[in-house]
Amino acid sequence: MTITTLASCLVLVPAHAEQSTNAGAISVAQVTRMLDQAPTNRTAQQVLTAYLSGVGEAAGVVVDLGGAPCQRPLTLTTEEVRRAIATAPAGVQGNQIAATPLVVRDMLVRAGCRRKSAAQLFGGFSLTGSGASRLIP
């Protein structure tokens, strides 16, 4: 499922629909809305489940590609997601903060994942421009 597909699903959640970020990423406001509505709204529950599944998959890929051995298993609950998105910078509207990097980073930190150096990973060769390097502590 692509971010565009998931974002289009978010529009299906009734009531006031929160906006994606200007870059098209799923926003903190959207995830907060899904978390709030999921207990009583089947569509919101399904969209939230799809989103969290994608985030979990993304975190696993970051760990695999980033060569980040973890001390504990990756976990993701709704309460952990709430805590992660609560770390969003103050003073910025929730619809302008991408939720996924906050959630993935929180998962990696809680699991005790640590990035290996480029030399360890690639025998002295380094890869530049990797998004994984910004997420792994």
Query: What confidence tier does 116 reach under pLDDT thresholds 50, 70, 90?
Result: low
Which tokens is 43 given?
């569509």
- Name every residue whose Cβ is closer than 8 Å to that of residue 91 and which is 6 or more positions away in sequence: none
What does pLDDT average to over the chain? Answer: 77
Residues linked to residue 98 through DSSP beta bridges, in sequence order: 27
Cα distances from 119 to residues 28, 31, 63, 91, in angstroms, run 35, 37, 17, 39
pLDDT of the residue at 45: 94
What percentage of the chain carries pLDDT values higher than 70? 70
Tell me what pLDDT residue 7 has.
46
**How far, in Å, CA of 119 to CA of 137, rounded?**
17
Please calculate the CA angle 116-1-112 and round it to the nearest 5 degrees: 25
- 127 pLDDT exceeds 50? no
61-89: pLDDT as tens digits:
878 887 778 999 999 999 999 999 999 88
- As a whole number of Å, the end-to-end CA separation of the chain is 27
Model confidence pLDDT, tens digit, residues 23-62: 778 989 999 999 999 999 999 999 999 999 999 998 888 7
pLDDT (mean) for 8-28 = 64
The mean pLDDT of 83-112, rounded to a whole number, is 88
What is the three-class DSSP state of 27? strand
